[in-house]
Amino acid sequence: MGTNTELLQGTLELLILKSIALGPLHGYGVLLRLQQLTRDTLQIPQGSLYPALYRLEHQGLVTFEWGESENKRRAKYYKLTAAGRKRLREEADYWQRLSGAIGLVLAAESSDL
């Protein structure tokens, strides 16, 4: 493994849903929020973010309203739909169980066998 942190498939959508759940954001704002929340551990390329937002929109998990960004440009501000909030809960529960199971394996000692 290098210094770049790569996301498992499907994880980006979960992270986007969580970021938007904290408050409506435009696309670039999602990138900034993820960098902030991960203390700059994750650097999401714009070329990955916008197709993921598009997928989430077409799945009915996010919707948007047009607004004005901080630099006075027209921007889509995304927010979760009811289906998006439900998916976020389901995916977060799954990842909590999965990361807990992985943690158990990584903490195992030969004396545990």
Residue 37 pLDDT > 90, yes or no?
Answer: yes
For 66-91, what is each residue's pLDDT tens digit? Answer: 999 888 899 999 999 999 999 999 99
CATH architecture of 11-105: Orthogonal Bundle (1.10)
pLDDT averaged over every residue in the chain: 90
Q: What are the C-alpha distances in Å from 83 to residues 6, 45, 61?
A: 27, 26, 5
Residue type, 68: E
For the chain, the structural domain boundaries read 11-105
pLDDT exceeding 70 applies to what percent of the chain?
92
**pLDDT score for 2:** 42
pLDDT digits (tens, 9 = 90+) for 49-64: 999 999 999 999 999 9
